[in-house]
Amino acid sequence: MSDAPVEFFYDFNSPYGYVAAHKIEAVAAKHGRTVDWKPFLLGAVFKVTGAVPLPHVPMKGDYARHDFARSARFHDVTYNPPADFPFSPVAASRAVYWAKADGKAGEMTLALYNAALGEAQDIASPDAVVAIAAKAGFDGSALAAGLQDPAVKEELKTVTDEAISREIFGSPFMIVDGEGFWGADRFDMVERWLETGGW
């Protein structure tokens, strides 16, 4: 049985990604796997697919807003998005890649997701991201510098390009041993795949 990490692609504007981020590590660990946290820019993907954020789609928008909140309640996750939503996820995504070097990508992801979609806080600005991360125990000064690191910026671009090349069109998108699963509602399938190696 493989021990390869579960690849977890997500955008900080994704309420379903937010829900999934609270579950993915436990699901992976249950089967002896780790998580490879891969924030990417869904807006860049939408330019390729022609898609738009769900709340902006005629007829689907009201349902989506209702389902975001309902899904969070179902999974016992607080949902309180900011008024300025969707927002730029660039600074938050870069923060995750900075934290990844110390093996703390998951901690950074949850700190920023909880602040944004759980507490209606701004995570669009670098200053806001640094303040939230510092409150969560990260070195704020080091992170402020890290957000401007060309290597960190390039990693976000590289993973976004990777998502497009691998036809990852939504958030969350989980890949287990090459098999892709789109959506927080695919966890039963992810678990079965991890248990059996496929069907």
In angstroms, rounded to a whole number, what is the distance separating the alpha carbons of residues 47 and 73? 31
Give one DSSP letter per residue of 134-195, joined into a string: HHTT--HHHHHHHTT-HHHHHHHHHHHHHHHHTT--SSSEEEETTEEEESGGGHHHHHHHHH
Angle at 117 between CA 38 and CA 108, to 5 degrees: 40
Domain 6-196: assigned CATH number = 3.40.30.10
- The per-residue pLDDT of the chain, averaged, comes to 96
Alpha carbon separation from 50 to 21, 31, 43, 53 (Å, rounded): 26, 36, 10, 10
Q: What is the pTM of this model?
A: 0.96
pLDDT of residue 2: 83
Domain ranges of the chain: 6-196
Query: For residue 56, what pLDDT is reported?
Result: 86
Query: What is the percent of the chain with per-residue pLDDT over 70, rounded to a whole number?
Result: 99
Confidence of residue 1 (pLDDT cuts 50, 70, 90): low
Residue 124 CB-density burial (10 A; 0-12 exposed, 13-18 middle, 19+ buried): buried
Given a cut of 80, whether residue 86 has pLDDT beyond it is yes
